[in-house]
Amino acid sequence: MATVHTLRTPVKHYAHLGDAEGIATLVNGTGYLFRRTGERKAVLVQYADPLLILHGYVEEPPDDERPLWMRIADPGYYEGRAHRELVRGR
C-alpha cells in the first residue's frame, strides 16, 4: 500500500479558473485550492476540472537566505570569500 507524505512547502501554480486568474495551491488527495488575485477566499477545485488551467510554479525565495544588504555588509564579500552568485561577470 502506498504512503502519502505531506509536503513541507506547498506547491503553488499560476492558474486560470474559467476567466478568473489567481494562484492554485496543491492539496493532497483532493485537488487545488484556487485563490483569485487580490482575494482571500479560496475555492476547492478537483484535479480533473476542465476549467482549471495551471501555467507554472510560483517561485518563492528560501526563508533561510540572507537579504542582499546583509550579504554586502559582510567583509568577506569584498575579500572574495562570499558566494559567487553575488559577483557578476565570473
What does pTM read for this prediction? 0.58
Residue 1: per-residue pLDDT:
62
- Does the CA dihedral 72-78-83-85 come out positive or negative? positive
Give the chain's mean pLDDT. 77
Confidence of residue 38 (pLDDT cuts 50, 70, 90): confident
Residue 59: per-residue pLDDT:
80
pLDDT at 66 over 80: no
23-32, 40-49, 60-69, 77-86: segment of lowest average pLDDT: 77-86
CA distance 82 to 46: 46
Enumerate the β-bridge partners of residue 12: 25
Alpha-carbon distances of 89 from 15, 84, 85, 86, rounded to whole Å: 36, 10, 10, 10
Number of neighbours of residue 32 by Cβ within 10 angstroms: 24
pLDDT at 51 over 90: yes
Residue 63 grid cell: 526563508
